[in-house]
Amino acid sequence: MTTEDVDQKALDVFPGRVVRKDLVQDIKSGVNVPTYVLEYLIGQYCATDDEESLEEGLEKVKQILSKHYVRPDEAEYVKSEVRERGRYRVIDKVTVRLDEQQDAYIGSFVNLGLNDVEVHEHLVSKHPKLLGGGVWAIIDLEYLPDNANSPKSLFGIESFKPIQVSNLDLDQLKDRRREFTRDEWMDLLLQSVGYDPSAFSDREKLLFLTRCLPLVESNYNYVELGPRGTGKSYLYREISPHSILISGGKTTVAKLFLNLNTGRIGLVGRWDVVAFDEVGGLQFSDSEAVQMLKDYMESGSFSRGTEELTAQASMVYVGNIDLDVEGVLKSSHLFEPFPDDMQDLALIDRFHYYLPGWEVPKMRSEFFGDQFGFIVDYFAEFVRELRKESYGDAINEEFAFGDHLNQRDERAVRKTVSGLLKLLHPHGEYTKEELREYLEFAMEGRRRVKEQLKRMGGMEYRAVEFSYLDLATKEELYVPVPEEADEALIPPGTQQAGTVYTIGESEGRHAPFRIETQTLPGSGKTNISGTPGKKMKESFETACDYLQANMRELRRDETLDEYNINVQVLNPSDANEGGETSVGLLVGIVSGILDRPVRSQAVVLGAMSLMGELVAVSSLIDKLQLAADSGAKTVLLPAKNKEDLAKIPDELLDQLQLVFYTDPLDAASKAIELE
């Protein structure tokens, strides 16, 4: 299959509905006309691959635009032409409302500035979109001198030819979809939004099309964060007249939901997609905005004043991650670019899909070709009509969800699968393996959300091992997240003497550390490097002072003054502090002095006072989970934490061997397995 094959099939199956995308840009650079107006005209006059006919068609389109497209600054001239000639053809956008007092339909011309033109009922009946946002059209305006000195308009509509798709035969489109294979149809959709599919891998194609899901799926909550220049906001700004893009800055509850002063419903009630660009700069001037967003993203409804209203707008958040993903995951989480008041766990849990923007290639000229694709407006109406349908139950035919997916997870996955099926298989025909592909892709995007919630919220969100059951084979299959598949911090096997792993506190979060200790004969000098902050230095001093006072219990004839101790702290999560790590530091020093390695894949938890009094480990379950996630098999902790055993989830107890110690030197003895 080649792009030429897809082009020819598109021309044959959808005559007048496809256009060569590079022609649009050639004309648009010289005429400030909406893309969907251009594409409709080009589709009418240039729907061919014959170069001579293309040139003739392009000239025809340019003539039509030059002669009839109304610019706002030409409005009075055009009205004069209608009066002088009796009739005149214009290209303008017409919106219609029902005037209840006159019991008549009244039309408004956007560029021409006419607001009182009477519109016949048959026109509204034939083009109902006139009442729902308006239609761009070629209109023959006539002058009505008999209406002079009366309330009626001097202008009337003699003929009306829409140049947007004012109605769509969805059944016809579904039937014609059968003429294409899945891959051909995917390429045609990509060509329709302006891309050359031959430039992308299969996964990249799916990532690009996933950006369309908010357009095809009602109340779909989508986030994409990644590098600049990958076209994250392009689709919502250029492709659909039913989406609105808000670029950073402040927004209000009245603007988003309902203005109590005017009673006018906000953006969520007037658009299919509300997209926030540069989400890092988004600010809400109302304190209740985030709570209302949470309610709306959960249920599609919101309460404002005394009313509860529903809407179907999908919510899209796009923005930039300035660091590489590996660096972000070591130091923080993938929602870090969000404003502080939106780093709300309940809000983040409402997202149905997190698209990995770092996998999307940056836009280059070779990504845009001269292929044919659907006219933008036809594509926009096609996906809009499909919002009325749902394929969410398709999963039940072949698969079942694993135990780690809760109800919200299942709903998110179902909506993503439904959207992909509607986009790629609107006729309802697909194979089991295609359904499996969409299911795994949907689970990955939802799991990416849950993985970040686990980083931010701890054990409450620990169930992230997403899986599904193949009903035919009874096999359970697990779905990973690519960026989470890095090597564990704690590798298997015995490390060099003096190496120990611990977990410390850093500004309200937990951070893993690898401590490497070098002990050499010397004069009692101590040094710690690579340390993230004051608290770990204090922990190191406490460990050294304690060992100085109790060295004879370790080696009867030696003191700490006979060694130079150098500690280097490796800090993979880029934590700013490292409190509560004194026992781990002491174990590392003892391991180095005795030249005995710490047991394999062990983490030492705990803090102590200068006199050796142990402090129970706080947030124990979260630290145990972090230890397990880091690759630990054994965790040493103070005996004071034995009373917390009943609270530890069984799955953690199955993963980890817990070893309790009674004092700091007992911790060292058990860590290096002294007899």
Calculate ∠ Cα 501-506-507, nearest 5°.
Answer: 170
Count of residues making up the chain: 675
Q: Which of 263-267, 351-355, 669-673 is predicted with the least confidence, judged by mean pLDDT?
A: 263-267
pLDDT band at 219 (very low <50, low <70, confident <90, very high): very high
User: Nearest-CA neighbor of 602 among 495, 504, 467, 450?
Assistant: 495
Q: Which of 43-57, 180-194, 313-327 is predicted with the least confidence, judged by mean pLDDT?
A: 43-57
Q: Which of 253-257, 285-289, 627-631 is predicted with the least confidence, judged by mean pLDDT?
A: 285-289
At 483-525, the pLDDT tens digits run 876 556 888 888 999 999 999 998 878 889 999 999 999 999 9
Question: What integer pLDDT is reported at residue 487 of this predicted model?
Answer: 56
At 322-354, the pLDDT tens digits run 777 877 776 678 998 999 889 999 999 999 999
| DSSP sequence for 549-580 | HHHHHH-TT--GGGEEEEEEEE-TT--S--BS
| Alpha-carbon gap, residue 515 to 621, rounded angstroms | 22
Question: Rounded mean pLDDT of 307-315?
Answer: 90
| Alpha-carbon gap, residue 666 to 333, rounded angstroms | 36
Question: What integer pLDDT is reported at residue 166 of this predicted model?
Answer: 58
Number of neighbours of residue 164 by Cβ within 10 angstroms = 24
Q: What is the mean pLDDT of the chain?
A: 88
Q: Are the beta carbons of 33 and 65 closer than 8 angstroms?
A: yes
Question: Rounded mean pLDDT of 251-270?
Answer: 83
| DSSP sequence for 601-645 | TEEE--EE-TT--EEPPSSHHHHHHHHHHTT-SEEEEEGGGGGGG
| Alpha-carbon gap, residue 541 to 82, rounded angstroms | 91
- Residue keyed to tokens 């015995």: 494
Question: What integer pLDDT is reported at residue 133 of this predicted model?
Answer: 67
Q: Which residues does 143 contact at the CB level (< 8 Å), separation at least 6? A: 82, 83, 85, 86, 87, 154, 155
> Of residues 3 and 336, which shows the higher confidence score?
336
Question: What integer pLDDT is reported at residue 125 of this predicted model?
Answer: 85
Q: Which of 125-134, 225-234, 302-311, 611-620 is predicted with the least confidence, judged by mean pLDDT?
A: 125-134
Question: What integer pLDDT is reported at residue 675 of this predicted model?
Answer: 57
Question: Rounded mean pLDDT of 561-581?
Answer: 89
Q: Is 154 helix (H, G, I), strand (E, B) or coil?
A: coil
| Alpha-carbon gap, residue 46 to 39, rounded angstroms | 10
Q: Are the beta carbons of 332 and 343 closer than 8 angstroms?
A: no
Share of the chain residues as helix, strand and coil, in percent rounded to the nearest 5: 45, 25, 35
Number of neighbours of residue 247 by Cβ within 10 angstroms = 12
Q: Are the beta carbons of 566 and 493 closer than 8 angstroms?
A: no
How many angstroms from the chain centroid is the CA of residue 173?
Answer: 29
At 39-98, the pLDDT tens digits run 778 877 876 777 888 888 888 888 888 888 888 888 899 899 999 999 999 998 898 888
- pLDDT above 90 covers a percentage of the chain that reads 51
| Alpha-carbon gap, residue 507 to 501, rounded angstroms | 20
Question: What integer pLDDT is reported at residue 395 of this predicted model?
Answer: 96
Residue 471, pLDDT > 90, answer yes
Number of neighbours of residue 163 by Cβ within 10 angstroms = 23
Q: Which of 6-15, 318-327, 638-647 is predicted with the least confidence, judged by mean pLDDT?
A: 318-327
| Alpha-carbon gap, residue 495 to 221, rounded angstroms | 46
Question: What integer pLDDT is reported at residue 57 of this predicted model?
Answer: 84
Residue 30, pLDDT > 90, answer no
Q: Which fold has domain 499-672?
A: Ribosomal Protein S5; domain 2 (3.30.230)
Residue 137, pLDDT > 90, answer no
Q: Is 142 helix (H, G, I), strand (E, B) or coil?
A: strand
Q: Is 313 helix (H, G, I), strand (E, B) or coil?
A: coil
405-to-80, 333, 442, 464, 467 alpha-carbon distances in Å:
66, 21, 12, 8, 8
| Alpha-carbon gap, residue 487 to 651, rounded angstroms | 21
Residue 657, pLDDT > 90, answer yes
Question: Rounded mean pLDDT of 141-146?
Answer: 91
Q: What are 99's strand-pairing partners?
A: 104
Residue 298, pLDDT > 90, answer yes
Question: What integer pLDDT is reported at residue 1 of this predicted model?
Answer: 58
- Residue keyed to tokens 């293309």: 54
For the chain, give every domain's residue range: 74-162, 390-478, 499-672
Residue 289, pLDDT > 90, answer no
The conformational region for residue 431 under phi > 0 = left, psi -120 to 50 = alpha, else beta, is beta
Residue 258, pLDDT > 90, answer no
> Of residues 436 and 371, which shows the higher confidence score?
436
Question: What integer pLDDT is reported at residue 496 of this predicted model?
Answer: 93
